[in-house]
Every structure is written in C-alpha cells, then in structure tokens.
Amino acid sequence: MTETILLDMDGVVLEGPGTPQSVYDRAADAAVDELGLEPTDRQRAGLRSHGYESVESACAALGTDPREFWRQKEEAASRLAAERIRSGERAFYGDVAALESLAERATLALVSNNRHETATFVADHLSAPFAAARGREPTPEGFRRRKPNPHLLEETLAELGVETGLYVGDRETDAVAAERAGLEAAYLRRSHNADGPLPEAVTYELEGLDDLREVPAER
Ligand SMILES: [Mg+2]
C-alpha cells in the first residue's frame, strides 16, 4: 500500500508561521473599496481583524452583508498571498526539494488552515506532485472548521480514499487535529518553534523535511 503523507503549509513548506496581519489589513481595505463602504477608523479596525466576529459586528454597523464582505476579503487575501509568493517576498523553505523523492514512495497532500485558494496555488508551485490540496473555504463556517478541528484532514482523507497516514505540522493544533482524524503526527521544528515543548500525541519530531526519509513507511 502506498503511504500517505499530509503536510501543513505555513511554517512547513512556506517560510514563516503564517499570513502576516498586514495582508489581512490590505485585503480588508480592498474589500471596503470593492463594496464602496465608508467605515470609521474603529469599524475599519474590526474589518481588518483576522476573526469573523469583529468583521461581523463592523459589517452590522455599516449595514452590509458580513458573508459577502468576508468572501471579498478572503479573495483579496488570496490574491495578495499569491503575489507575495510570485515576487519572492514569501519564499519556500529550501528543504521542500526533499518532497520530490518522497513523492516516489508516498502520496502527498497539502492541508492548511489557510485559504483553499492559497493552498492550491502553493501545491501547484511546488515541484513535487501533490495528490490533493485543501484549505479553508471563504465562509464563516470554513473559518470555524480550522484545525484543531479535524474537518480539513478528514475531507482530504476521503478525497484520497485512505484512512491512515502521517500529518506533518509545526503547531500543537496540527498534532491535535491529526489525532482526531486518526492520523499519526510529526512535529517539524523551524526557527519560529525551535524551542517550545513537543506537543503530546506527536510520534515523530523532525528537524527538517529531509528527516521524513527516516520515518518508516510501514507503521
Ligand atoms: Mg503551520
């Protein structure tokens, strides 16, 4: 049976732990312009916040549909994220090269809390073949189903038609989601999580993606 290895995106293949707030600020401003809104400074701060509740209450005050605003903001954030990757402002880790040989023995998938559009963009830009790429849908429901909710991992396993595998992440929430989805968890050390404690439920601790070669295929 071919092994299945699912990988988190931010902090695993893409440098840095996540999308910086400045991207959400610019995405919110783009959605404000697109929808022709005129928020106060306080309302704009709510719209820029990376959380649905504050966006929802600012939209209520402005009399605009929060779901539509959220969709526009997520779309703009995906566009900005793609621009940052294309320009090299945000780079891939050098050890993603190890995924090419790993793909010869394993089915690879990318599973991220980040936006689905960004996850598929990143999978397409990596030279290793990815059988699936999944991120959050641009809805409040999609935002609520982020890890440690196992939803994204379970949907990916169903898409691949498998029940077991390994999930490689850089946060405790990744390990928790993996355990809930019935997967083994590998914890990848990067500069932003070099010193923290090893989360519970982690089977493998990795110093880089090259270490995946040492993880036994039969578990
Ligand atoms: Mg991550």
Has domain 3-16+91-214 been given CATH number 1.25.40.10? no
Residue 216's pLDDT is what? 78
Interhelix angle 116-125/66-87, rounded to 10 degrees, is 20
Structure confidence at residue 219 (pLDDT): 53
Per-residue pLDDT of 77-110, as tens digits, reads 999 999 999 999 999 999 999 999 999 999 999 9
What lies within 8 Å, CB to CB, of 49 at 6+ separation is 24, 55
The pLDDT score that the predictor gives to residue 2 is 63
Q: For residue 89, how far is its CA from the centre of ligand 1 (angstroms)? A: 18
Q: What confidence score (pLDDT) does residue 9 get?
A: 98
How many residues comprise the chain? 219
Rounded to the nearest angstrom, the distance between the alpha carbon of 31 and the centre of ligand 1 is 26
- The segments of the chain whose pLDDT lies below 70 read 1-2, 218-219
Distance (angstroms) between ligand 1 centre and the Cα of 132 equals 17
Q: What is the pTM of this model?
A: 0.95
Q: What is the DSSP string of 57-120?
A: HHHHHHT--HHHHHHHHHHHHHHHHHHHHHHTSS-B-GGGGHHHHHTTTEEEEEEEEEEHHHHH
d(CA 22, ligand 1 centre) in Å: 18
Q: What is the pLDDT of residue 144?
A: 97
